[in-house]
Amino acid sequence: MAELGETAAAEEDHLDGLYGLTDDLIRETLAAIGAGDRQRLKALTAPLHAADLADLFQALSAHNRTLFEEFMAEDLDPEVFVHLDEAIREDLIEDLDSEELAKVVTGLESDDAVELIEDLEDADQRALLETLPAVDRVLYEEALGFPEDSAGRLMRREYAAVPSVWNVGQTIDYMRADPDVPDAFYGLFVVGPDNKPLGVIMTSRLLRSKRPVAVTDIMEPDIKLIPGTMDQEDVAFLFRQYGLVEAPVVDEAGRIIGVITVDDVVDVIHEEHEEDLLKLGGVKADDLYEAVADTIKSRLSWLCLNLLTAVLASVVIGFFQAEIEKIVALAVLMPIVASMGGNAGTQTLTVAVRALAMKELTTSNALRIIGKEVLVGGINGVVFAVLMGAIAYFWFSDLLIGVVIGIAMIVNLLVAGLAGILIPLAIDRAGADPAVGSSIVLTTVTDVLGFLCFLGLATIVLL
């Protein structure tokens, strides 16, 4: 492990001093936990940002983690829970009684609190909500009334807004005087008498304007109103597309009910991308911190599906047992055709899944891109037909075997290109997520057709 240690140290070098968690710190924390030295633990963790402290929790084993939580007790910054991986957060929350949990929730901003509450079991959620003051409870219940992963769950309830009849001076005086104005915001919303947002004023713009100027004169009227029910993926798309810093969330009547800021969206973009990556790899969720049993459960269904498709491909091979018995070279060469088809198809599929997620694959260009992929597949097919044909010819001293594998390669790479784009398009059209399952459908197609084409051709040409 010494070697691994060196890499990690080298890795952190370019972040030195900027990223709070170091291997030394982990070692010292472990030592302090082992010695049960609360004072030392508190001294070690005091300079850490909540996000680094969360990473520290994640670097520990489950046993040490629980001990660490107990030792820290009420000194633990509630923000740490926000930064924890879900699996670990659940574990740590389970160790808290409802009073301790209520203390954590009240220590958080409203959007962070909702993130914590929404993951609780129904009974725990109800129990927790009952311990909270009525005004908070209503707020959280409203947020939880929005669908999971929606703008309504993501938004912060504390926002800064001023009436459209005010001027800069009134606005500044109000903000200096009113304790209800949130402490940190980038823009102020200008709202009409019906509480509908009319525009936004960057605080820097406000700072640079003279007191008598009307707020409507310096506001940016071209704002994106986010419906509370909008999916967070669409919210992230809008923020990225338009370089938004914050956007008002509105109810069905168009009245402002909250605000989403770009730092929350950074997390969403991160999450959504990560989900896509994991889904394409056949993993349901980030299972790094899950128990072995949970990891097995989450991966088993994908492998079961894969077994089915692998058996299907084998059944196809089974049709040609007599031929393979006569020409055993077929058995040697057949995995190559399937493997090349699978890989070429995966290339196309990856580009297509990404383009669908980015809304870059649309009706207006779908036909053009399908045509391009077929062309790419065909040309690649010819290249590898020549290459593999030559290899097979020299290997088995049989020209016909070379010809058969060559033709099979062309057909399979053509099919791979076509399937790589059509499968995700079809899954997307059916309203499902093309990142899930499309790769298994693709390899089934390329395996089955690869074996069928190669062995079928061989039967016709060679026997």
Alpha carbons 153 and 114: distance in angstroms, whole number: 7
Cβ nearer to a second copy, comparing 75 with 360 = 360
Q: How would you class 133 by CB atoms within 10 Å of its CB: exposed for 0-12, middle for 13-18, buried for 19 or more?
A: exposed
Task: Tell me how crowded residue 216 is: count the other CB atoms within 10 A of its CB.
Answer: 15
Among positions 265-304, residues that touch a second copy (CB under 8 A) are 265-267, 269-270, 273-274, 276-278, 280-283, 286-288, 292, 295-296, 299-300, 302-303
Is 64 a binding residue for a second copy by CB under 8 A? The answer is no
The two three-digit tokens of residue 311, written as one number: 């058996």
Cβ nearer to a second copy, comparing 128 with 344 = 344
Cβ nearer to a second copy, comparing 128 with 187 = 187
How many residues line the site for a second copy (CB under 8 A)? 141
Alpha carbons 406 and 2: distance in angstroms, whole number: 49
Task: By CB under 8 A, name the one of 28, 372, 433, 456 that touches a second copy.
Answer: 372
Cβ nearer to a second copy, comparing 125 with 347 = 347
Task: By CB under 8 A, name the one of 99, 180, 183, 194 that touches a second copy.
Answer: 183
Strand partners, 250: 227, 256
Is 58 a binding residue for a second copy by CB under 8 A? The answer is yes
For residue 36, the SS3 value is: coil
Is 19 a binding residue for a second copy by CB under 8 A? The answer is yes
Is 347 a binding residue for a second copy by CB under 8 A? The answer is yes
Is 7 a binding residue for a second copy by CB under 8 A? The answer is yes
User: What are the distances in angstroms from CA 93 to CA 81, 84, 431?
Assistant: 8, 11, 35
Cβ nearer to a second copy, comparing 144 with 376 = 376
**Smallest distance, a second copy to C-beta of residue 414, A:** 14
Question: Mask of contacts with a second copy, 150-179, x by CB under 8 A?
Answer: ----------x-----------x--xx---
The alpha-helical segments, DSSP class H, found in 182-291 are 203-207, 215-218, 232-242, 262-280
Is 97 a binding residue for a second copy by CB under 8 A? The answer is no
Strand order in the sheet with 256-261: 226-227, 246-250, 256-261
Alpha carbons 320 and 327: distance in angstroms, whole number: 11
Is 213 a binding residue for a second copy by CB under 8 A? The answer is no
Alpha carbons 176 and 170: distance in angstroms, whole number: 10
**Smallest distance, a second copy to C-beta of residue 123, A:** 31
Is 310 a binding residue for a second copy by CB under 8 A? The answer is yes
Among positions 409-428, residues that touch a second copy (CB under 8 A) are 425, 428
Is 190 a binding residue for a second copy by CB under 8 A? The answer is no
Is 180 a binding residue for a second copy by CB under 8 A? The answer is no
Is 366 a binding residue for a second copy by CB under 8 A? The answer is yes
Alpha carbons 237 and 247: distance in angstroms, whole number: 13
Task: By CB under 8 A, name the one of 331, 386, 400, 407 that touches a second copy.
Answer: 331
Give every CB contact of residue 162 below 8 A, 6+ residues apart in sequence. 170, 171, 174, 188, 189, 190, 191, 215
